[in-house]
Amino acid sequence: MRCNAKSISFFQIDQLQLGLPSRDYFLDEQSDRDLDAYLTYMTEVSHILGANQSYAAQELRKIIEFEKALANISVEEVNRIDTSAIYDKISIKDLTAKVPQINWMTYFRELVKPLPIDENEKIVSYSTPFFVDLGKLLGQTDTRVIHNYIIWRLVMDLMPHMPPQYEKTRADFRKILLGVLTDR
Q: For the segment 38-79, what is each residue's pLDDT rounded down to a tens digit? A: 999 999 999 999 999 889 999 999 999 999 999 999 988 888
Residue 180 is predicted with a pLDDT of 63
What whole-number distance in Å separates Cα of residue 155 and Cα of residue 162?
A: 9
Question: Rounded to whole angstroms, what are the CA distances from 60 to 44, 47, 113?
Answer: 11, 12, 34
Q: Are strands 122-125 and 88-91 parallel, antiparallel or unpaired?
A: antiparallel
> What is the reported pTM?
0.86
Side chain identity at 76, as an amino acid letter? E
Residue 83 is predicted with a pLDDT of 86
What whole-number distance in Å separates Cα of residue 55 and Cα of residue 44?
A: 12
pLDDT, averaged in runs of 10, over the chain (184 residues)? 49 92 90 92 94 93 97 90 90 97 94 90 94 97 97 93 87 83 53
Residue 174 is predicted with a pLDDT of 87
* In the chain, beta strands by DSSP E: 11-13, 88-91, 122-125
CB 173 within 8 A of CB 163: no
CB 101 within 8 A of CB 71: no
Residue 74 is predicted with a pLDDT of 95
CB 25 within 8 A of CB 34: yes
- 152: CB partners within 8 A, 6+ apart: 19, 42, 60, 63
What whole-number distance in Å separates Cα of residue 4 and Cα of residue 92?
A: 11
